[in-house]
Amino acid sequence: MDVFLQVLANGVMLGGLFAIVSVGLTLIFGIVKVVNFAHGEFLMVGMYLTYLAVSGLGLHPFAAVILVVPVLFLLGALTQRFLIQPLLAAGDHHIQIFATVGLSTVLINLALLVFGADIANTPPSGLRQPLQIGPVRVLLGQVVILGTAILLVAGLQTFLARTRTGRAIRAVAQNRAAAELMGIDVNRIYALTFGIGAACVGVAAVLIAPLYPTSPNSGTYFVLIAFVVVVLGGLGSIRGAFVGAILIGLIDSVTGFYVGADMREVAVFGVFLAILILKPSGLFGRQLRLSHVSP
């Protein structure tokens, strides 16, 4: 029984990790309706910045948030303004996708140039402290990630529902033309949303860096699962991303232990396919319209 509880705990912790990485992605996907293939690289940039802040400036990872999150916000906003926005007028959505793929390649190779291919290790700063909760052992950093993911989800939901800017963002997502007619500066909203999405990834990066080795390819390890989580939860549904993440984490952990390490991905993608066949819009998704202009 103890072992089963540990397997579940591992799964939930893993789910928290996936959740915190995916939240920003679903926001961008749901509002700006752009598939940001550079999402993993935003995470990687954030992880390297955290590494520099912690090992270079001697900051605690939590303090590094002050540095990393604004930089990531800027990175996201600038990507939207100078990479995506000029391409929005193009008739074919695939152009924006390829632009983000290009950005991803550029960032990976820039990181390779600047940092080299060796792993960079952010000092754990106490986050690898083991916590014994009954028969289950987890790391402090993992619990912090899960807690932050929950706070992030709740915070974003509140922001979108209760604030004026949040309502503007939702209006743009529902009907861009009408939003524009209502006096909303759509381009500014897009940049802001991309920036917020990237900032969420910045938060994820700060918490992940002390627990995982950082290399130019770190982003690629997370990004595929992030997309699975986002689509599974329903594009644009922040709550859905969280639930999807926990689900995937549990499937991964349970399969890994009871079936075998080589079957983990088969199970995860198998369940993903099954759910999509039964409910194509994802667990919490509504019918997503990819048109930027009208319903």
Looking at the Cβ atoms of 24 and 256, the one nearer to another protein is: 256
Q: Vertex 19, ends 16 and 22: CA angle to 5°?
A: 155
Of residues 122 and 237, the one with the C-beta less far from another protein: 122
Nearer to another protein, 84 or 229 (CB): 229
Give dist(CA 111, CA 218) in Å, integer. Answer: 11
Total residue length of the chain: 295
Of the two residues 58 and 213, which places its CB atom closer to another protein in the complex? 213
Taking the complex as a whole, the smallest distance from the CB of residue 88 to another protein amounts, in Å, to 31
Question: What single DSSP character describes residue 28?
Answer: I
Q: Provide the minimum distance between the beta carbon of 134 and another protein in the complex, in angstroms, as a whole number.
A: 16
Residue 236 tokens read as 């644009």
CB of 243 to another protein, least distance (A): 19
Give the angle subtended at the CA of 217 by the CAs of 240 and 24, to the nearest 5°.
Answer: 25
Nearer to another protein, 159 or 212 (CB): 212
Token pair for residue 252?
């991964």
Residues that bind another protein (CB under 8 A): 3, 6-7, 10, 13-14, 17, 109, 112, 116-119, 121, 128, 130, 137, 139, 212-213, 215, 217-218, 220-222, 225, 252-257, 260-262, 264-265
- Which element (helix H / strand E) includes 218? helix 218-233
Write phi, then psi, for 109 (nearest 5 degrees).
-75, -30
**Rounded Cα distance, 173 and 288, in Å:** 10
- Supply φ then ψ for residue 130, to 5 degrees: -75, 140
Closest contact distance (angstroms) between CB of 50 and another protein is 15
Q: Least distance from C-beta 262 to another protein, angstroms? A: 5
- Residue 133's SS3 state is strand
Rounded to whole angstroms, the Cα distance separating 161 from 169 reads 10
Q: Which is nearer to another protein, 30 or 256 (CB)?
A: 256
Least spacing, CB of residue 82 vs another protein, in Å: 25
